Amino acid sequence: MSTTIYDIEATGLEVTRDVPFQFGAHVLNSDHSLVRDLNLTGRLPRHVLPSPSALTVTGMKFSEIQKFPLSHHELVKRIHSFVVENSPTTFVSFNGMRYDENVLRHAFYSNLLQPYVTQLSGSMRMDVLKVVHAAVACGDGSIKVPLNEKGKKSFKLEGLARENGFNDHNAHDALGDVRATEFIMNLVRDKSPDVWRACERNRDKYQVQKMLESRRPLLKVDWNYFSGVPNVRVILPVVSDAENCNEWICVNLNCDVMKLLEKGEVSLKAAFKWCNGVTPLITVKTNDMPLVFDLSDPAIRKLPAHYPREVCEKILSDAGFASRLRVAGRLRKESYPPSESVWDDLYSGGFFPTSDDVPVIKRFHKVRPDEKFDLISDLSDGRARTLALWLIGSEWPDVLPHSARSEYEAGLREHLMAEEAKWTTIPSALRHIRELKVGARARDLEILEDYRYHLENMSSFA
């Protein structure tokens, strides 16, 4: 199978709201030789403003981004087509499971494209940051990790690459970060073969599913950024989530398990939270490349794997406990705050796009801009109808009927001028610019002044 290493540069850290403006990728064949590279850039949709911090980090002026030849929709369609054309493959990223994958998934969703395309057609996902966490936690010394100003290990790609001898890194450029990710990936594969093989296995959710279904104790590794050391816990998979078969509820065998067995659903719900240095209940997502290892895996031979063996049989033989865990998992999800808008609704309201809407969406993408609005009423999913209106308003506003355009423009003004919001607005961006300008270097001042000028022009029309 081929390997596709990719990276994005985006407008900020809110994965449901911020969007990519650059996408870089290397496609490698089974011999790890480069067969294709890609570097795409595109403008921003009308409703998305970049965080001023994101601009200074990437070194991009707002005016430069808005001069890119591709519109946002054209950029996202090109990325989506690239993913489809290169599947099946292993999509490799650095911190992609938490960030890049989520940003892309929501960009596909908001542009009425299949959101989960990196996991379809036999493709798998791999996060090199997680691989590095595993190598460092397993203590094999293959990866050198720099320290930050607080004396803790820093896993930022730029510093990690430089510390390990990669000095030609164009940081915060998508294609530059792809090259650095490829370097780190090769380093782990060559110097930590046991860890690499274990992580490579875990990119396949079906292999992880087999481990969890065995209901045998497993070792789970995570990195604790607060303390600066790895979390190493022996867990026992008990039951899959009631609604998501890709998510398993596991018991932390390094806590007081007997007390857990006595708890009801509400008390068990609280056990998913960190308390006094311990998380009694842990969820593992099979499609998230979790760092879970069989206790006999050579990759973890240096890690402690002690647990009270006698309690495992008690846990697994208690059917009532498994039922209570499932209820507790449902209660936990029900306590999540409701979404604020359609951009936060990818995971609510059912699978997207609905089977009824797939043919309508295909027509939507094929017809001329002036024919797209008439298809909105054929969409059964309210999310799709709203996204279609905002997509047309951003890309082809002139084709909207007068009433629909007035509705869109009013919503856009309210969206951009909100004083307090989860996303970047004109008022919040201007406040942030004033803060960043204090003590800023010359390059950043130029970027911030360019952005301030455009924001103030925008606010006069909003």
396 versus 461: the higher-pLDDT residue is 396
Q: What is the pTM assigned to this prediction?
A: 0.95
**pLDDT reported for residue 23:** 98
Average pLDDT of the residues of the chain: 94
**Token digits of residue 413:** 């003004």
Q: Which domains does the chain have, with CATH numbers?
A: 2-195 (3.30.420.10), 204-334 (3.30.1520.20), 358-461 (no CATH)
**pLDDT reported for residue 450:** 97
**pLDDT reported for residue 460:** 65
Closest of 222, 269, 31, 3 to residue 124, by C-alpha: 3
3 versus 348: the higher-pLDDT residue is 3
Could you tell me the CA-to-CA distances from 358 to 48, 82, 113, 114, 349 in Å, in that order? 26, 20, 9, 9, 16
Helices (H), 164-308: 174-191, 193-202, 205-213, 257-261, 265-270
Report the sign of the C-alpha dihedral through residues 445, 446, 447, 449, in that order: positive
Residue 423 binned pLDDT confidence (cut-offs 50, 70, 90): very high
**177 has a pLDDT exceeding 60:** yes
**459 has a pLDDT exceeding 90:** no
Do residues 280 and 263 lie in contact, with contact meaning Cβ atoms separated by under 8 Å? Answer: no
In the block, which residue shows the tokens 């003590």? Answer: 439
Chain segment 304-329, per-residue pLDDT in tens:
998 988 899 999 999 999 999 999 99
State the Cα–Cα distance between residues 12 and 452, nearest whole angstrom: 17
Residue 226 binned pLDDT confidence (cut-offs 50, 70, 90): confident
**pLDDT reported for residue 16:** 95
Chain segment 371-389, per-residue pLDDT in tens:
999 999 999 999 999 999 9
